[in-house]
Structure formats: C-alpha cells, structure tokens
Amino acid sequence: MFHISHLQVEIQMGTQPCPDNYYWKQLITLFAVVGIKFEIHCWQEETAEIKAGLKFGREKITDWEFGTIIEGVIDDKFIDMLHHTAKPADTEIYNKMTPYFSIFLANGFFSEHYGTEIHIVSKPADASRFTMLLEQLKSHSMVIHEF
C-alpha cells in the first residue's frame, strides 16, 4: 500500500514495455490543473513536437543550446491534448509514453525521458485515485520509490 504523505514519489518504467500510455495519461491528468504553469522541453531536432507544443505556450528564452523550452499556463485545450496524446511509435531507444522529452508542471509533477520517468513532489487533488493508480502500476512492472 502506498502512502501519499511522503514528500516524493518516483516512477520508472520496468523492463516490460507498456503497449500504450494509459497510465501516463491517467497520472499526468491528475496533476494538470487549469491555471497551473507548465514547461515542455524538446530537443532541437524534434521540430514536429516543438510546433505542437507551441500551440499551448511560447518559447522560453534559455541558454539550452540543444533544445527548446515551451512555457505556458494549462487550459482546457492543454488538458484535452494530454488526454489524446498517442504513444509514440519510435520506441527503439525509449519506451516513450509521450512525444515530449520532458513536461514539468508547476505543482510538482515532472514527466521526463519521454514519460519513462515520473517524479511527483506534491499531493494530487484526488488522493484515492492516485493511490489506486500507483497500485496498478506496481503490478505492471513499474519501479516505484517513495521518499
């Protein structure tokens, strides 16, 4: 049983690939709240992903020479995009859950390495659903740490 009173939860993809990104979408939409700031990080060669991300925010000026950061505020369209994000087909290097290298939500949800690593440093509004999802992930060969 998981205890959401911990300060941090870390989820890593296990060795068995997931056929879809259902659990990733369920987790991120627990934290994607209208009015919260977000950042999307893409490598510079991910032009389609950058173009798609710019529909929801604007490019942030940074010194990251190898990529682009898009920042914005979550609205209903952004949440709808998360619900309809398809699992990428190019999974040779990573078993990607999302086309974006990283998505950071200002309320403490961080999806990194194409959704294969998730760091959560805050409590969701729906704690019982969160706990249920963590239990389901555990049974799908995910590595979950609580700190």
Question: Is there a domain that residue 53 lies in?
Answer: no
Domain that holds residue 108: 9-33+72-146
What is the DSSP annotation of 31-81? H--TT-EEEEEEETT-HHHHHHHTTTSEEEP-S-TTEEEEEEE--HHHHHH
Q: What pLDDT, on a 0 to 100 scale, did the predictor assign at position 15?
A: 59
In angstroms, rounded to a whole number, what is the distance separating the alpha carbons of residues 61 and 76?
25
5 has pLDDT over 70: no
Question: Is there a domain that residue 83 lies in?
Answer: yes
User: How many domains does one find in the chain?
Assistant: 1
What would the mean pLDDT of 85-113 be, rounded to a whole number? Answer: 92
Question: Is there a domain that residue 99 lies in?
Answer: yes
First to last CA, the chain: 14
Question: Is there a domain that residue 105 lies in?
Answer: yes
Work out the mean pLDDT of the chain and round it to a whole number. 88
What would the mean pLDDT of 4-8 be, rounded to a whole number? Answer: 60
To the nearest whole percent, how much of the chain has pLDDT over 70? 88
Per residue in 98-109, pLDDT (tens digit) is 999 999 999 999
Question: Is there a domain that residue 46 lies in?
Answer: no
With cut-offs at 50, 70 and 90, classify the pLDDT of residue 3.
very low
With beta carbons less than 8 A apart as the criterion, state whether 134 and 57 touch: no
Question: Is there a domain that residue 135 lies in?
Answer: yes
Q: 107 - beta bridge partners?
A: none
Question: Is there a domain that residue 131 lies in?
Answer: yes
What would the mean pLDDT of 4-11 be, rounded to a whole number? Answer: 71
Question: Is there a domain that residue 47 lies in?
Answer: no
Burial class (CB in 10 A: 0-12, 13-18, 19+), 78: buried
Per residue in 49-80, pLDDT (tens digit) is 999 999 999 999 999 999 999 999 999 999 99
